[in-house]
Amino acid sequence: MLFKKTEAPAEMLPAVQVVSGGVYFGIIKTSSPIRIEGDFKGIIFCTNKVIIDKKSSVNGDILCHDIVIGGTIEGNVICRSKCSLEEDAVVNGIVRTAKFENGDNSTVTGPVYVNKENGNIDVDEYYELFNKKETLEKIKAEYFSLPQKLILIS
């Protein structure tokens, strides 16, 4: 056979981007890749890759498939696959992942749990635990007085 039938490439999901300028807060749940370029306060649930830029900060927990951290996270990182800290990245919290890689001068103040069993983490299960009205109200009350932009993506 001279020609081989090829399948059409899978449709690429658009990325969610939190840009610099102001403070964004809320809960993000998505299967699209996320790039944080500004300041975000809340919880991120992503069944794809999360990228935290060098000058960015996240105040809250992140549950994702893969993550690349360049900035600062004040919270816990739960990662199904690989957690990479770039040079000078900071995580003030617990890191739980299947694979871990850290750059020069990167810091994690809490324990780092690296275990292949972390690949079994269910994002939707964690989302149901965290996505309670009380959690949303607490986030809203804490950051309501700041200049912000609310993000609720699902």
- Please check whether residue 104 is in contact with residue 122, taking contact to mean a CB–CB distance below 8 angstroms: no
Whole-structure pTM value = 0.75
* The pLDDT of residue 109 is above 70: yes
- Residue 95: the pLDDT is 93
* Confidence tier at 1 by pLDDT (50, 70, 90): very low
Indicate the residue type of 137: E
- Residue 15: the pLDDT is 65
Mean confidence (pLDDT) of the chain: 79
pLDDT digits (tens, 9 = 90+) for 62-95: 999 999 999 999 999 999 999 999 999 999 999 9
